[in-house]
Amino acid sequence: MSLDITALRQMLAQDSAALTQLKQLLANERELLEQRKQEGLQEIIERKAAVIDHLNNSARIRNQILNALGLSTNASGWDTFLQRNTATLPLRDEWKNLVSDFEECQKMNDVNGKMIARSQQTLNHLLNLLRGKVAAPSLYTAKGTQTQHSSSYTVAKA
């Protein structure tokens, strides 16, 4: 398999641009979630899906390259690949930046996911109140797990 350094550099640059766009979309999504605005969320979701498709395609290409060379198909395998050849060694810094940007996107996405989950909890609670359903108190067992029982527990066992 011949190495096209220009194509590799271009792929990394495109992935970096895609991650920058994804970070902006995640920031916009968070802003809308904080303001509890639904307008615009669908467009952000569609744009995020397109960016993620691009990143998945690049990941498949990297995996094909690594498989052909017998390297592990993960971030460290790609780092090893870049270190093996003096022509690809300069791309290593770009790769590290890409990994760092990806990790930042993951953290931002986790925060947005938690915000969505909390909003769903709040909405479900409000809907239950409107329906006249009062939630049972949430209690903890001796093992630390939550229960939803309306009966009480004794402090000690005989």
Say if CB 108 and CB 27 are below 8 A apart: yes
pLDDT band, very low/low/confident/very high, at 2 (cuts 50, 70, 90) = low
Give the mean pLDDT of 28-35.
94
pLDDT band, very low/low/confident/very high, at 57 (cuts 50, 70, 90) = very high
Give the mean pLDDT of 99-108.
96
More confident residue, 145 or 43: 43
Give the mean pLDDT of 86-97.
91
Query: Whats the size of the chain, residue-wise?
Result: 158
pLDDT band, very low/low/confident/very high, at 125 (cuts 50, 70, 90) = confident
pLDDT band, very low/low/confident/very high, at 30 (cuts 50, 70, 90) = very high
Give the mean pLDDT of 27-51.
94
pLDDT for residue 42: 94
User: What is the pTM for the complete model shown?
Assistant: 0.77
pLDDT for residue 151: 47
Q: What is the CA radius of gyration of the chain?
A: 24
What secondary structure does DSSP assign to the chain, as a single string? Answer: ----HHHHHHHHHHHHHHHHHHHHHHHHHHHHHHTT--TTHHHHHHHHHHHHHHHHHHHHHHHHHHHHHT--SSHHHHHHHHHH-TTTTTHHHHHHHHHHHHHHHHHHHHHHHHHHHHHHHHHHHHHHHHHTPPPPPPEE-TTS-EE--SS---SS--
Q: In this structure, what are the phi and psi dihedrals at residue 125, rounded to the nearest 5 degrees? A: -65, -45
Residue 144 has pLDDT above 90, yes or no: no
pLDDT for residue 92: 93
Share of the chain above pLDDT 70, in %: 89
If you average pLDDT over each of 11-15, 129-133, 140-144, which comes out highest? 11-15
Q: Cα(107)–Cα(27) distance, rounded to whole angstroms?
A: 11
